[in-house]
Amino acid sequence: MPEIIKIIQPKEKFHWRDITELWKFRELLYFFAWRDIKVRYKQTIVGIGWVIFQPFISMVVFTVFFGNFAKMPTDGAPYPIFVFIGLLFWQFFSTAVSDISICLINNHHIISKVYFPRIILPISIIFTRLIDLFVATGILIILMIYYRFMPGLTGFLIFPVLILISSMAALGLGLFFASLNVKYHDIRFVLPFFIQLMMFVTPVVYSSSILGQYSWIMAFNPIGGVIKTARSEFLHSFATNWTQLGLSVLACVAMFVVGWMYFRVTEKASVDTL
């Protein structure tokens, strides 16, 4: 008989088993993502249309006010395309962070009844939100065709890398807030405000070039670095600053490590305190 031996004891320090274990739970990961997608489309009347509607309307509003009236510099591209590249990553990042931050609370009824590596939940949220991102990418391509704008093809090459960076950053920040949420139940009321503030320090509606010589600061905001790189590659209006992208990668790895470590500390206590 093939022996499966499970030893339950006080949680020790990090072990590689924690990572290999995730592979065993890949089907659960898939089902959590599947559940969230199904439920989202069943609950809203607009259903799948919501995924298209939300970034599209944001783009229209921003174009009218920031593009037409405020006349923001756009690094030479039509404002709708310019702002949409920013929105694409920003909406993915912000929705993933806010979903992840409440995932332990929302799934408390499952966490308190069954064992699985808790990090499966946040990771499944990343996948759910990636689907929105892909739909929004489709809109971006349609916009480019509509404006007869020929994007830099290297943009599509670097796109997966940028998605990876944003996913890691969202996971890191989300895990951090999820852990805080377990400890302090009022975090979730502050978070929407914090995320909104973050949008203003991220070059979503404006170009990072308006910061002039200080634009390197943006590199420490991983999602800002991602948007900046995506624009430079797609709009080919200025050369990508690889050093700054490297800094963004470092910042996102740091965010991920800190968030994940904090999550590991709190996840074992989460059932007892929530």
Partner 1 sequence: MSIISIQNLSKRYLIRHDIGGYAGLRERLAHPIKSFQYRMKNKPEEFWALNDISFDIEKGDVVGIIGKNGSGKSTLLKVLSQITPPTRGKAILRGKSASLLEVGTGFHPELSGRENIYLSGVILGMTRKEVSEKFDEIVAFSGIEQFLDTPVKYYSSGMGVRLGFAVAAHLDTDILIIDEVLAVGDAEFQKKCLGKMDDISKKQGRTILFVSHDIDAVKNICNKGICMKSGTIARSGDIDNVVDYYLNNKDN
Residues near partner 1 (CB under 8 A): 3-11, 27-28, 31, 35, 38-39, 42-43, 109-116, 180, 183-187, 190, 268, 271-273
Taking the C-alpha atoms of residue 133 and residue 215, their distance in angstroms, rounded to an integer, is: 26
> Closest distance between partner 1 and the C-beta of residue 6, in Å?
4
Taking the C-alpha atoms of residue 223 and residue 202, their distance in angstroms, rounded to an integer, is: 7
Kindly state the tokens that stand for 5.
Answer: 């031996």
What is the separation of C-alpha 142 from the centre of its chain, rounded to a whole number of angstroms?
23
Instruction: Give exposure, 110-126, as e/b (b: 16+ Cβ within 10 Å).
Output: ebeeeebbbbbbbbbbb
> Closest distance between partner 1 and the C-beta of residue 120, in Å?
10
Cβ–Cβ under 8 Å, residues 211 and 217: yes
> Closest distance between partner 1 and the C-beta of residue 40, in Å?
9
Q: What's the chain's length in residues?
A: 274
> Closest distance between partner 1 and the C-beta of residue 97, in Å?
17
> Closest distance between partner 1 and the C-beta of residue 27, in Å?
5
| 274 closest CA partner among 108, 117, 118, 99 | 108
> Closest distance between partner 1 and the C-beta of residue 34, in Å?
8
Question: Of the two residues 132 and 267, which places its CB atom closer to partner 1 in the complex?
Answer: 267
Amino acid, single-letter form, for residue 187 = I
| 170 closest CA partner among 119, 135, 222 | 222
Q: What is the DSSP string of 152-219?
A: -THHHHHHHHHHHHHHHHHHHHHHHHHHHHHH-TTHHHHHHHHHHHHHHTTTSSS-GGGGGGGGGGGG
> Closest distance between partner 1 and the C-beta of residue 1, in Å?
8
Cβ–Cβ under 8 Å, residues 135 and 50: no
Question: Of the two residues 115 and 156, which places its CB atom closer to partner 1 in the complex?
Answer: 115
Specify the residue for token string 């923001």.
72
> Closest distance between partner 1 and the C-beta of residue 152, in Å?
41
